[in-house]
Amino acid sequence: MKSQNDLGVPIPANKPLVVRTIKKVTKEQREYALKKTEYNMFSFPADLLFVDFLSDSGSGTMTDLQWAALFHGDESYARNKGYYVLLDAIRDTFERSDNPKRAINLILSGETNVKRLMDELYLTSFEGGFVNGGVHQLTRPNAFIVPQGRCAEHLLFSTIAPILREKDSNREYYIPNNGHFDTTEANIMANGITPVNLFSANLLDEFPYDQMDNNNPFKGNMDIEGLERLIQEKGVDSVPLIYITITNNTAAGQPVAMKNIREVHKIAVKYDIPLFFDACRFAENANFIKEFEKGYQDRSIPSIVQEMFSYIEGFTISFKKDGLANIGGGFFFRDKGTFHKKFSIKEDIGIKLKEKQILTFGNDSYGAMSGRDIMALATGLYEVVQEPYLNERKFQVRNFARKLAQNNVPVILPAGGHAVYLNMDKFFEDSDTKPDDFRGVGFTIELIRHYGIRAAELGPFAFEWDKKSPDQRKEVLNLVRFAVPRNVYGPSHIDYAVAAIIELYNNREKIPKVKISRGAELRLRHFQTGLQPVYK
Ligand code: F0G
């Protein structure tokens, strides 16, 4: 008899305690709502959907422990207790591997020993890592809590851009990434720096769906040769940072191998350029490394995470990903590391960042988060690295992709960590379709119209193909993404979506082209423009 671990399906990791009834909306009602909201996915009322795969960002289900943690939230204006708990949870998660201190338990258990609270939580001092503590966080701030990832990106890029211009106002600056997310790209561009995508060359290679449990080509990797070439061509001084996004959301949510991180690290050290992570979905990435990269099968997720982060100088993160929490973000950099050295020119870079944080998000101990949300986030950090949860989540996404592939729907394989991506170039390959026909958007409109399912186009429309140079256009993939929020959906939702997608695929000639009826020139226009499907 097979053991519990050998059945080929993961052991269930949790069970729902609360459910919400989905409304019985008709197709005619959705058609009316689509028209009223200019056919834009981001304007459609979520309450009128059956299944929502728009994003896994902040849309997950909180656990009972997270709900309980809310009650420990402290809304004091300065130095709320959750601040200390969160900072130490970040040290635990990214730096302490299998030896977390779990100072959070002092709060959750109602510890009343004042000396213990002072010694182990409120007055402890740390330096040398990503999160200084005590007086070191005051004199050399390096940890910045903000409400979400893009706030961290804004904080970072808007602070370093003037420093770079002061260094050399004539120089063009470039920030390479294995795949910039749209907000990262936009924040970099808004500050006069050029983002560069160095996708792995094998990204769109075929992969057999029946091999997804056996191996993984880590298609999220950075193109190492491309990185060396960029630094050589533009000059070391033109590349202020190197970024790796884990997992690579823009490249179909594919994971990045530890080997690739190590190789990029080597190049970063060779040229003395700080290496950063966009650390959204770090836990899912670590889980792929554990499953598929040689030498990691017997390592714990926390120890893999610790190794990943040992190669970098800093990270921006949206804590809304990985199913961690409904809100939260941050920017952290290594105390006295390369970033600190390079950017502390007239003044300590941490002090400059803190000044901007206070101006825009509030003081450093809450950064525009509520004390309740800080507690839920700190609790979530300990939960997302749990393997049973990660395995079940990964299996759900993989199964979703496998079912589509078995029915010949062009899905990018292997499946990524948080989402299933359809390749729209292949989807429409038997018809005469140009990128700016935006038929990927047409597909998402039809999914809502007929079936009440929402997905996101991440292609020529979202990445503004028509506004780009011929070279930049080559970097634009043509995808539609079904992001699976944490612990929200079960097999019935996935099966319903698979059936709907197959039906639309089989009727793809009826999927309309889409015109931008309002706001084509707006920045980040997929959140803002009005659209009009053109039915034949
Ligand atoms: N980086 C990556 C890789 C992301 O996926 C996101 C957000 C961000 C940064 C920005 O974080 O939303 O907290 O400001 N991705 C969401 C998504 C929106 O649906 O993929 P944020």
Predicted confidence at residue 72, as pLDDT, reads 97
Q: What CATH number should be reported for the domain whose range is 4-56+393-534?
A: 3.90.1150.10
Q: Would you call the peptide bond into 379 cis, given omega within 30 degrees of 0 as the criterion?
A: no
Continuous H helices in 507-534: none
What's the burial of 102, exposed, middle or buried (CB within 10 Å: 0-12/13-18/19+)?
middle
Interacting residues of 58 by C-beta distance below 8 A, sequence separation 6+: 148, 320, 325, 326, 327
Q: Is the pLDDT of residue 204 over 90?
A: no
Q: What is the pLDDT of residues 347-383, one digit of tens each?
A: 999 999 999 999 999 999 999 999 999 999 999 999 9
- Residue 23: count of CB within 10 angstroms of its CB: 11
Predicted confidence at residue 247, as pLDDT, reads 95
Which of 35-44, 130-139, 164-173, 462-471 has the weakest average pLDDT?
462-471
Please provide residue 138's backbone torsions phi and psi, each rounded to the nearest 5 degrees: -80, -40
Domain 144-204+212-342 class in CATH: alpha beta
Predicted confidence at residue 134, as pLDDT, reads 95
Determine whether the shortest distance from the Cβ of 183 to ligand 1 is under 6 A. yes
Predicted confidence at residue 525, as pLDDT, reads 87
With CA atoms as reference, report the closest residue to 489 among 421, 402, 416, 393. Answer: 393
Continuous H helices in 416-534: 424-427, 439-451, 470-473, 491-506
Assess contact for 454 and 289: CB atoms under 8 A.
no
Helices 349-361 & 149-167 angle (0-180, nearest 10): 130
What's the burial of 513, exposed, middle or buried (CB within 10 Å: 0-12/13-18/19+)?
middle
With CA atoms as reference, report the closest residue to 531 among 181, 28, 44. Answer: 44
Mean pLDDT of the chain: 96
Predicted confidence at residue 463, as pLDDT, reads 87
Q: Is the pLDDT of residue 182 over 90?
A: no
Q: Is the pLDDT of residue 22 over 90?
A: yes
Which residue has the CA at smallest separation from atom 2 of ligand 1? 181
Q: Which atom of ligand 1 is nearest to the CA of 179?
A: 3
Domain ranges of the chain: 4-56+393-534, 144-204+212-342
Predicted confidence at residue 536, as pLDDT, reads 83
More confident residue, 476 or 73: 73
Ligand 1 center to 284 CA (angstroms): 15
Determine whether the shortest distance from the Cβ of 57 to ligand 1 is under 6 A. yes
Q: What is the pLDDT of residues 258-273, one digit of tens each?
A: 999 999 999 999 999 9
Q: Is the pLDDT of residue 523 over 90?
A: no
Pocket test for ligand 1, best of 54, 56, 150, 246 (most atoms within 8 A of CB): 150
Assess contact for 502 and 447: CB atoms under 8 A.
no
93-107 average pLDDT score: 97
Looking at residue 230, its amino acid is: L
Instruction: Give the Cα separation of 146 and 154 in Å (integer).
Output: 10
Instruction: Give the Cα separation of 130 and 124 in Å (integer).
Output: 15
Ligand 1 center to 57 CA (angstroms): 7
Predicted confidence at residue 8, as pLDDT, reads 87
Please provide residue 9's backbone torsions phi and psi, each rounded to the nearest 5 degrees: -135, 145
Q: What is the pLDDT of residues 450-508, one digit of tens each?
A: 999 999 999 999 989 999 899 888 878 899 999 999 999 999 999 999 999 999 999 99
More confident residue, 95 or 468: 95
Claim: this prediction has a pTM higher than 0.75? yes
Helix or strand or coil: residue 411? strand
Q: Which atom of ligand 1 is nearest to the CA of 278?
A: 1
